[in-house]
Copies of this chain bind each other. A is one copy, B any other.
Amino acid sequence: MEIGILGTGMVGQNIGAKLFWLGHNVMIGTRDVSKTMARTDPDMYGNPPFSEWIKQNSKIKMGSFAEAAAHGELIINATTGLVSMEALKLVGKENLDGKILMDIANPLDFSKGTPPFLSICNTDSLGEQIQRAFPKVRVVKTLNTVNAMVMVNPKKLKGADHSIFLSGNDAGAKCTVKELLKSMGWKDIIDLGDITTARGTEMILPIWIRLYGVFESPVFNVKVVR
C-alpha cells in the first residue's frame, strides 16, 4: 500500500520502518524538510537525529506534510497531539478527503510540567476533533495506547496476548486498519465503536504515564481479560 506518515519523531520512525519492512511504499512527512534534515542533535531520549535515521532507511521517501499525505492511500497521524490539527491543516483537505487517516496521536500537554494533562478529554477527543474538521476523511483512532516499540512489535510482549483498540465511523476503513494491525503482529483487536469512543482510549494516557513511572519502562500494555 502507499502510506504517508505525518511526523518524523520516534513514533513516525518506528511505524515507518515497520510498514516499509512489511512491503509498503512509505513516505514520511515533516513541516519543514530542510529544518528537519539540518538537526544534528540527538532527541530528548538520546536517539540520533532524523537525518541519520533517514540515511539508514534510505528507501523510505521524505517530503512535506502535504507531499506525504498526497503520496498515501492511507495516512498516519504520528505528530504530537497538540500540533496535529495544525499539521493536518497544512496537509489540506485536497490531500486527505476520501482517504483513511490512522490517528495514533494523543493530546498530551506538558506545558505545566509532569505528569502532563490532556488538552482535550471527557466530552471530546482529538480523534473526534479531526473527524469534525475533515468530515470526508475516514478517521480511525488506534495504537495510541501503546509505546512505539510495543506498537510495531506486539509479539515482544507475552507473544502479543494483549489488546489494541479501534474507534471510527467508517466500517470499511476500520476493516483495512484491522488487517494492517494484524500484519504488524496484533491479535486481540477490539472495535470499540464510532469515533466518540476515542475519548476512552485517549483517557487511558494518565494511567499509562503513571504505570511507566512504576515500571520504569514504557514496554507494557493491557490485556482485556473477559
Binds B, one of A43-51, A73-81, A98-106, A193-201: A193-201
User: Cβ of A210: which chain B residues have Cβ within 8 Å of it?
Assistant: 192-193, 197, 200
Contact of A200 among B192, B197, B207 (CB under 8 A): B207
A169-207 vs B, Cβ < 8 Å mask (1 yes, 0 no) = 000000000000000000000111100110111011011
A117 within 8 A of B: yes
A206-226 vs B, Cβ < 8 Å mask (1 yes, 0 no) = 111111011101011111111
Binds B, one of A30-38, A88-96, A118-126: A118-126
User: Cβ of A219: which chain B residues have Cβ within 8 Å of it?
Assistant: 226
B207 near A206: Cβ-Cβ < 8 Å: no
B214 near A220: Cβ-Cβ < 8 Å: no
B225 near A211: Cβ-Cβ < 8 Å: no
Nearest B residue to A192 via CB reads B210
A161 within 8 A of B: yes
A225 to B204, CA, bound (A): 15
Contact of A206 among B117, B157, B199, B226 (CB under 8 A): B199
Which residues does A use to contact B, with CB under 8 Å?
115, 117-118, 121-123, 157-158, 161-163, 165, 190-193, 196-197, 199-201, 203-204, 206-211, 213-215, 217, 219-226
- 24 of the cross-chain contacts (CB-CB < 8 Å) are A115-B196, A117-B122, A118-B122, A121-B121, A121-B122, A122-B206, A157-B226, A162-B225, A163-B222, A165-B207, A190-B211, A191-B214, A192-B207, A193-B214, A197-B210, A200-B207, A203-B203, A203-B204, A203-B206, A215-B226, A221-B225, A222-B223, A222-B225, A223-B225
Q: A193-B214, A223-B225 are in contact. List 9 more A-B contacts (CB 8 A).
A: A162-B225, A190-B211, A191-B214, A192-B214, A197-B207, A203-B203, A204-B204, A217-B226, A223-B223
